[in-house]
Amino acid sequence: MVVRARASVGTDKVEAMAARAGERVPGPSPRTRAAIARRLAAASGQMTTAAVGEMEARHPWFSELSAEERSWITLVAQAGIDGFVRWFSEPEDEGRGAGIGVFGTAPRALARAITLQQTVELVRTTIDSVETQLHEVMPRGDRGHLQIAITQYSREVAFGAAEVYARAAELRGAWDARLEALVVDSVLRGDTDETVLSRASTLGWRSTQSVAVVIGPADDSGAARPLEEVRRLARNRDLDVLAAVQGDRLVVVLGGVVLVDQDAAVTQATHLVGAYGPGAIVVGPVVEHLVDASRSARGALSGLRAAVAWPGAPRPVGSEDLLPERALAGDGHARRALAMDVHGPLAAVNGDLLETLTAFLDSGSSMEATARALFVHPNTVRYRLKRVQQVTGFSPTDPREAYVLRIALTLGRLQR
């Protein structure tokens, strides 16, 4: 008697360990199993009613769901209990994936109606209720086998719930990526209407001012995921971001109060360089709203095409810093900007500034040669050159800025 009792205890321990490991343990004979399954099926309706009642008692949010959503959950609970009956009655079935069928009875909308955490709570409540009912409505001789079986089956249901929500998240992520690509494409095409703004808001865009577009080569090495990297880096700097890969280009739309001007936008874009491939990265001018972002995109695209003409350009570089190259490449906006914003103010002040600047550039940037050509003192030349910098924002004594001034003078004369 003692030996038999010890053997029984050892068997229980082995069965419990196997159940925890997710393995199917040797159960009753097929005839006994079929008999237990029939008794279990007869009690399935009572178990479902008890499980739904337990959900209402344990979880206050369950009562706040609509009648339709509660009916979906009831269907899932009923499918889970019926699935357990079928699963128990088929000893040759390993039960892999049994939990997927449980959630197949509910529409996809259920995954949006309740969270994954709430689903876990409902699964736990249903399993607890079923275990309680097994001890109340099933004969004592059936309870041991059913206890092991429900432990194994609940594991499959848990994995099934995780897979359902993983698939839903994957589909939602794919849809968001397509929607974001559509918004970025609309920005590039200059088609940013109310529909595009609504889509951007759905994607989390909040900025109502200060928007800039950054365009550069996409990283095709496969070593990084550029879109995820851009979003992570932008979030770290409290910037709104929309990003998409279009062919061999990575287009990023940035928004935030810190983008006060193009210099600030270039500074922020510096932190995103790691997401781009090798090559020039151009930051468009800062505009006031997402509706106007196409203007920033136009400047960035023009600068990207012309950036090859300035091998020593910083990375990233502002599109306004590429005005000479853009003008030579045929960009009408750049030509007008140089003629009106650089040459125009000089011509409006007085003729001495234009004359002095022309003489300075023609003399190889020599103060003394310029003074001799104009019959003035070198200090007068220095004063006038400082005035040129104050009026235009470009210093004639800096080689790069002197090049900008030279192109502006030429375009201004042509326009006049």
Q: Which of 298, 305, 297, 294 is nearest to 217 (CA)?
A: 305
Pairwise CA distance, residues 383 & 360, whole Å: 12
**Is 15 domain-assigned?**
yes
pLDDT in tens, 324-380: 999 999 999 999 999 999 999 998 887 789 999 999 999 999 999 999 999 999 999
Choose one of 285, 320, 355: the last residue of a domain.
Answer: 320
pLDDT at residue 274, as a whole number: 87
> 363 lies in a domain?
yes
Q: Chain centroid to CA 266: how far?
A: 22
7 with 91, same domain: the answer is: yes
pLDDT of residue 68: 82
Over residues 272-283, the mean pLDDT reads 92
- Would 96 be classed as within a structural domain? yes
**Shared-domain flag, residues 129 and 44:** yes
Residues 6+ apart with CB under 8 A from 45: none
Contact (Cβ atoms closer than 8 angstroms) between residue 215 and residue 250: yes
Statement to judge: residues 32 and 143 lie in one domain: yes
pLDDT at residue 317 in the model? 96
pTM for the model = 0.63
Q: Please indicate, yes or no, if residue 28 is contained in any of the structural domains.
A: yes
**Lowest mean pLDDT across 174-178, 193-197, 261-265, 289-293:** 174-178
**Between residues 25 and 389, which one has the greater pLDDT?**
389
* CA distance readout (Å), 312 to 76, 251, 271, 319, 401: 65, 22, 20, 14, 14
Distance (Å, whole) CA 135 – CA 51: 14
Which of these three, 286, 320, 354, is where a domain ends? 320
In a domain, 280, yes or no: yes
What is the domain count for the chain?
3
319: part of which helix (H) or strand (E)?
none
Domain identity same for 377 and 293? no
**Can you give the residue range of the structural domain that contains 283?**
194-320
Q: What is the CATH number of the domain that holds 220?
A: 3.30.70.2730
200-250 tens-digit pLDDT: 887 888 877 889 999 999 987 655 578 888 888 888 888 999 999 888 899
Verify that 249 and 366 share a domain, yes or no.
no
Residue 344 is part of a domain; what is its CATH number? 1.10.10.2840
pLDDT of residue 17: 45
Q: Could you tell me what percent of the chain has a pLDDT over 90?
A: 37
Location of structure tokens 């008890």: 50
Residue entry with tokens 């910083």: 314
- Asked whether the predicted pLDDT for residue 264 surpasses 60, the reply is yes
Provide the percentage of residues in the chain whose pLDDT is more than 70: 83
- Same structural domain, 239 and 369: no
Are 16 and 105 within one domain? Answer: yes
CB 70 within 8 A of CB 140: no
Beta-ladder partners of 317: 282
- Which of 138, 170, 202 terminates a domain? The answer is 170
3-state SS assignment for residue 393: coil
Tell whether 297 is covered by a domain: yes
Is residue 301 included in any domain, yes or no? yes
- Is position 54 within any domain? yes
Instruction: State the CB neighbour count (10 A cutoff) for residue 194.
Output: 8
Strongest mean pLDDT among 11-15, 350-354, 403-407 = 403-407
Q: 3-state class of 192 per DSSP? A: coil
Residue 262 has pLDDT above 50, yes or no: yes
